[in-house]
Structure 1
């Protein structure tokens, strides 16, 4: 055997312990890596669980970092090296405050072991805190509480009147009397149940809303005023919101064929670059493809800077008119998106929208 071969065998033999030692690593294995807290209370304080693990590797295991999937989970872990065969822990703490509902969060654990990254999971359901009346009814006017400054009746049609109620709470040590008089538009009627509230009593204000009134289609915001016997805060001002659409009675196939049909060309128009302070006109062609007269009930812009001009309200079958929308770029900057909503007696598509977009540039 040559001297070179002997040297190679010698080096290979003595390097084996070094290679074996270099491959020795710790290994983190959780006893349980997924914990279910079950139901916990929102106001019950943090929920804590300690995941136990064993180092099943052949070298000391060191946890360098634990990262939670959200800030609501606070991790802790064994700081000292965990020897082979011994156990350590990773702690998870979940704060349920202001987090009602189901949750599932993860912990990402980085170590010097193999694999270098492992995961653990916590889950559960946070039961909402039962709020007091004072916490629920956040609007306080004098010693009278309401849920909100606004009462939203929601989407209604012109078919019939609707009734909506909201709570009123006497948050005082004295009796509260709700006076019979109130201020509201003629199409809003109010009644009170009861009119006299003892201390800490909840009553109801009933709103009867008639959606048939002038300029009713679309979004409506009506102010009402309730009067009480509180000397320092006699008046309580509340807003009533409603979105009204026209009601169309069921129609036969023959009636539907004869109905008006609104079609609009170029619903979205790009005005391109528009000088600040200038005015630009966008034209939209409205055509009646039906067999009856099309009546434009109302046009409403979403901005005072985009004014709609309609030459007439009625469109005969097969005829067209041009809706002009004038965009005023005064005091406007950057990209602009504006729209006009068109309400008509087309029973299939009574509410249609046309829009413009523009980019405001400084004039030369």
Structure 2
């Protein structure tokens, strides 16, 4: 390196050093938030202002105070710690949300600006706001005991086994008695919990039921439906049944692209089996080849058809790398006619495609 080039190198390094130092320092957050995103769940319009609190700790040697808090809309208001904080001291941001301002899912941004350089932190308040309907009978047409519901069944959707799923179900008290949270009795299996959110729901008022579904406790895969008997001990004639449906799946953490060839890989030779025209009086049998193209053992967790008319048999539960097996399909079309489609679901430990589908099509004469 000649002298001119070396001199230019020193000039560039000298100019960049403060920037590099500042970048290294900015990696250490000045405020440590307990959480920066809070979901307050489902909120009914008539419940009024909803309040929650964000908590932070100041980590720098310099004195700190909040200069300003910027809000996304007028539907939120805040109170915050106005004291000057030393290192290690904590403060709070108290946020109030008006549910009359929106309908459906909401995510409100709160920006906190401090006196120290680089402090402009973002917080998020999320939830679901449900406005009061103009026609109660039309909004809650499904009658269960003294309650009116929007839908016949509580659909939990996809439930994974890594954490329980919670859903809030709104209802309208069409009875003449006060519904006390402490008097609710629900005969649930171990993997389901049902509770009343509000302490009291008066006649002609709306309320919320919290349904919590634990996929790990259920310890199964596929589609399930549960009937949960419920009643309020202090209310005669309050007996009802809550129908809960859910699709259960095993959770797999994301994997690196470089590891794709190392994990189990289920490959199905034929994902659509067309039987064409068949007789309603003849049982049909077919086979489909399953292969593990990965480098780890493939475990078949479950094989499930969507009809009792379909029998699916797997000769083994594990496939070594490179190994194959024949999946046997037996379809009895008795009592059916016209275009028909049956689904076979295969659950495995393939982390990329843990649930795969085989479709069995036919035209039944």
Task: Give the TM-score taking structure 2 as reference length.
Answer: 0.59
Q: 2:171 aligns with which of 160, 168, 171?
A: 168
Q: 1:134 aligns with which of 132, 137, 144?
A: 137
Q: 1:339 aligns with which of 336, 343, 353?
A: 343
Match of 2:243 in 1: 239
- Distance in 2 separating the partners of 1:272 and 1:145: 46
- Distance in 1 separating the partners of 2:137 and 2:147: 10
- Distance in 1 separating the partners of 2:133 and 2:193: 33
SS in 2 for 1:258: coil
- Distance in 2 separating the partners of 1:197 and 1:150: 21
- Asked whether the equivalents of residues 141 and 233 of structure 1 are also in contact (C-alpha less than 8 Å), the reply is no
Deviations 1:12-46 (A, max 9, x none): xxxxxxxxxxxxxxxxxxxxxxxxxxxxxxxxxxx
Match of 1:104 in 2: none
Match of 2:146 in 1: 143
Give the Å deviation of 1:307. Answer: 1.0
Matched ranges for 1:76-115 at <5 A: none
- Distance in 2 separating the partners of 1:130 and 1:184: 30
Match of 1:354 in 2: 358
Match of 1:285 in 2: 289
Are positions 1:222 and 2:226 aligned together?
A: yes
- Distance in 2 separating the partners of 1:256 and 1:154: 28
Give the Å deviation of 1:197. Answer: 2.3
- Distance in 2 separating the partners of 1:162 and 1:241: 12
- Distance in 1 separating the partners of 2:281 and 2:236: 48
- Distance in 2 separating the partners of 1:222 and 1:253: 39
Point out where structure 1 has 5 or more consecutive residues left out of the alignment.
Answer: 1-128
Are positions 1:212 and 2:235 aligned together?
A: no
- Asked whether the equivalents of residues 173 and 205 of structure 2 are also in contact (C-alpha less than 8 Å), the reply is yes
- Distance in 1 separating the partners of 2:135 and 2:276: 54
Match of 2:198 in 1: 194
Matched ranges for 1:267-282 at <5 A: 267-282=271-286
- Asked whether the equivalents of residues 286 and 323 of structure 1 are also in contact (C-alpha less than 8 Å), the reply is yes
- Distance in 1 separating the partners of 2:333 and 2:162: 40
Give the Å deviation of 1:230. Answer: 7.0
Deviations 1:64-93 (A, max 9, x none): xxxxxxxxxxxxxxxxxxxxxxxxxxxxxx
- Asked whether the equivalents of residues 337 and 357 of structure 1 are also in contact (C-alpha less than 8 Å), the reply is yes
- Distance in 2 separating the partners of 1:248 and 1:268: 26
CA 1:214 to 1:144, structure 2 compared with 1: closer, same or farther past 3 Å?
closer
Aligned-CA RMSD value: 2.3
Equivalences, count: 234
CA 1:231 to 1:177, structure 2 compared with 1: closer, same or farther past 3 Å?
same
CA 1:334 to 1:234, structure 2 compared with 1: closer, same or farther past 3 Å?
same
SS in 1 for 2:261: helix
Runs of 4+ in 1 over 6 A off after TM superposition: none
SS in 1 for 2:289: strand
- Asked whether the equivalents of residues 289 and 317 of structure 1 are also in contact (C-alpha less than 8 Å), the reply is yes
Point out where structure 2 has 5 or more consecutive residues left out of the alignment.
Answer: 1-131
- Distance in 1 separating the partners of 2:272 and 2:308: 18
CA 1:177 to 1:283, structure 2 compared with 1: closer, same or farther past 3 Å?
same
Task: Give the TM-score taking structure 1 as reference length.
Answer: 0.59
SS in 2 for 1:332: coil
- Distance in 2 separating the partners of 1:133 and 1:355: 43
Deviations 1:187-240 (A, max 9, x none): 011221234322222221111111124463232222212212476533111111
Match of 1:309 in 2: 313
CA 1:246 to 1:142, structure 2 compared with 1: closer, same or farther past 3 Å?
closer
Give the Å deviation of 1:330. Answer: 1.4
CA 1:171 to 1:321, structure 2 compared with 1: closer, same or farther past 3 Å?
same
- Asked whether the equivalents of residues 264 and 284 of structure 1 are also in contact (C-alpha less than 8 Å), the reply is yes
Match of 2:18 in 1: none
Greater Cα shift, 268-277 or 255-264: 268-277
Q: 1:262 aligns with which of 260, 266, 270?
A: 266
